[in-house]
Chain A
Amino acid sequence: MEVTLLLESTDNAFRVMERAREHAVGLLDTAVQFTAEQTRFRQEKRGQLLFTGTQKRKTQFQNIVGTTIILLAFWMLLSGKFDAFHLTLGVICCALTAYLFHDLLFANVRVGDMRVIAARFIAYIPWLIEQIILANIHVASLVLRRKMPIDPQIVKFKTKLETDISCVTLANSITLTPGTITMDIKDGVFYVHALSQKVANELNAGDMEDRVAHIFMEADHLYVEDVLDAARIYQTLRT
């Protein structure tokens, strides 16, 4: 009787010890794993910080240099004096301004395609001037008639433009053409006041939007989408 009790108790003791050992091993394992993870995480984070830091410093330097060059061109255009004293003053002033305001001029710009954007923008201006002259004649003919057949309305359309600068270009182009005024942009929806039905129809055709999207290289993938949308083509063919 006593022997069996003894055996049982030793057995129990062994089992408890076994469980304790298992617990301890598990705890040690998790601790090792945790520390390893921690160090890995910390290392990764430090690498990331280093990387973004250098990236940030590099882009900051690029921004400062680019802003300085643009502002120096503006300064020379204003000054018109090219002796050493005034050029030195200009370089100092432009560098100071670029250092203070380096994050303003180049926010939200994809680096690398600036030259293409500038060339396309210059090519866009003659078309805009032609559009302005045509709209001027239209509005003058509307207003100078005795009955004044205006039909004021607010046109609301969703734009496909993504960056703020392209939205602003489109909004200012719309405001520059007589007869239409951009009132507000909210979450990519334009609210435009149009003077007559013809102007509103031209606005809804979206020619100007396509051209602005072309300037800022946002058109390329969207054109493909438009072509693949067969239902829309079918509808336009039917009507």
Chain B
Amino acid sequence: MIQESDDVIVKAVARLLVPFIVVYALYVVMHGHYSPGGGFQGGVILAASFVLLGVSHGLEKTRRRMSEKAARVVSSIGVLLYGGIGALCLILGGNYLDYAKLGKILRVTPAEARSLGILGVEIGVALAVMAVMCTVFFAIFTAEESPEDYRSVE
């Protein structure tokens, strides 16, 4: 269990930095098809922001924003988004993740449909990666708790 850090510098810098890191990660996800990055990288940066918050402000305050339960739900939602878009293309008569077929539902040209489909898939990947990374972080940093504590968290 990580306690809140008593260091003024780390705490204040983390406090100021975390919102910007989150916005930067979302920028990496949303602009994945123009600049370097994409779903996986953006998800890792998102998870890094939570790791920074957990290390500097203690695990309790991090759990208030992203608990283990929420991480599990969010990772499932991410995978569902990814698989759902792929399966939707399959239902509409194309191959798996054949985004051009999405144009029929969204009423846009196939090129725009490809762009939007890739964006949706990347958001799904980012959510899944972020949640799984958070789960790994929580699992590592709560490993030395006694089993009773862990059960109460569950």
Judged by CB atoms under 8 Å, the answer to whether A and B touch is: yes
Surface stretch bound by A, among B19-27, B71-79, B86-94, B145-153: B19-27
Contact with B along A77-116 (1 / 0, CB 8 A): 0110100001001100110111011001101000000000
Q: Is the CB of B16 within 8 A of A185?
A: no
Which residues does chain B contribute within 8 Å of A9, judged by CB atoms? none
A54 interfacial contact with B, CB 8 Å: no
Selected from B8, B20, B22, the residue in CB contact (under 8 A) with A185 is B8
Complex CA–CA separation, A224 to B65 (angstroms): 44
B63 interfacial contact with A, CB 8 Å: no
Selected from B8, B16, B22, the residue in CB contact (under 8 A) with A100 is B22
Which residues does chain B contribute within 8 Å of A24, judged by CB atoms? none
Q: Is the CB of B19 within 8 A of A89?
A: no
Q: Is the CB of A78 within 8 A of B27?
A: yes
Complex CA–CA separation, A104 to B56 (angstroms): 12
Q: Is the CB of A67 within 8 A of B9?
A: no
Surface stretch bound by B, among A135-143, A163-171, A228-236: A163-171
Given A75-B27, A89-B30: A97 and B22 interface contact (C-beta under 8 Å): yes
CB distance from B144 to the nearest CB of A (A): 26
Q: Is the CB of B23 within 8 A of A75?
A: yes
Which residues does chain B contribute within 8 Å of A164, judged by CB atoms? 8, 11-12
Give the residue name and chain of the B residue nearest to A104 (CB): B15
Contact with B along A156-180 (1 / 0, CB 8 A): 0000000011011001100000000
Q: Is the CB of B18 within 8 A of A74?
A: no
Complex CA–CA separation, A168 to B15 (angstroms): 12
Which of A67, A89, A172, A182 lies at the interface centre, i.e. has the most chain B CB atoms within 10 A of its CB?
A89
Q: Is the CB of A93 within 8 A of B23?
A: yes
B residues near A (Cβ < 8 Å) are 7-9, 11-13, 15-16, 18-20, 22-24, 26-27, 30-31, 34, 65
Query: 15 other contacts beyond A89-B30, A101-B18, A184-B7, with CB at 8 A cut-off?
Result: A67-B19, A74-B20, A78-B24, A79-B31, A93-B23, A93-B27, A93-B30, A96-B26, A97-B19, A97-B26, A101-B65, A104-B18, A105-B16, A165-B12, A185-B8
Q: Can you name 14 A-B residue pairings with CB atoms under 8 Å? A: A78-B24, A79-B27, A86-B30, A100-B22, A101-B65, A107-B15, A167-B8, A167-B9, A168-B9, A168-B12, A168-B13, A172-B9, A182-B9, A185-B8
